[in-house]
Amino acid sequence: MTEAEWLACEDPRAMFHWLRMNGTLNRPRLGLLFAACCDLIPHSVAEQPAPGAVHWTDNEYDQAPLSDAQFQLSGAVVEAMRAIATSDIQQAVTVAVLRDIFGNPFRPVTFSPSWRTSTAVTLAAQMYESRDFSAMPILADALQDAGCDSADVLDHCRGPGPHVRGCWVVDLVLGKE
């Protein structure tokens, strides 16, 4: 897959497969993607959403590199995507979530520590904990005030989203990358 194909891709499973084959997936990101996918499963498919699924990714023990567990989790993500992507709209949301978590893998962003001001970190931490990402444009302003001139970072913050726990910009601000 080329960068142009990644940016134009509308198939979340193709994007996920490419991330897997390219070695871009790591266990924490995979877990965050799974949790985001579980939260998107319609109530008609699952009796309840699974907002608590994200908490296991915060456990340090679960961060250990276990290839068997990663393989199992990859299968769970694919199954969750199947449950979600039953319409073009839901498929588009899943693609947007993939882009929110993984960004543009063809254009890694160099994040300057000087952009990690107390304001930016506080905003990012509040969004991460509450899962309310409505302050993303304010985070863009805080990063810009700190000297951030990365169009990729600022455009992502000011973009329409959706944003989920694991958003690549929020994680960079929090030093999770």
Q: Are 40 and 93 in contact (CB under 8 A)?
A: yes
Q: 3-state SS string over 48-85?
A: CCCHHHHHHHHCHHHHCCCHHHHHHHHHHHHHHHHHHC
Task: Spell out the residues 6+ positions from residue 97 whose beta carbon is closer than 8 angstroms to its own.
Answer: 12, 33, 36, 37, 40, 162, 164
User: pTM, whole model, 2 decimals?
Assistant: 0.73
Has residue 41 got a pLDDT over 80?
Answer: no
Residue 162 to residue 164: CA distance in whole angstroms = 7
Higher-scoring residue by pLDDT: 156, 81: 156
- Token digits for 141? 């302003």
State the pLDDT at residue 16: 84
State the pLDDT at residue 177: 67
Task: Spell out the residues 6+ positions from residue 115 whose beta carbon is closer than 8 angstroms to its own.
Answer: 143, 146, 147, 148, 173
- Select the highest-mean-pLDDT range: 28-32, 52-56, 101-105, 155-159: 155-159
Percent of the chain with pLDDT over 90: 46
Residue-wise pLDDT for 69-121, tens only, equals: 555 555 666 666 665 566 677 778 889 989 999 999 999 999 999 999 999 99
State how far Cα 65 lies from the chain centre.
19
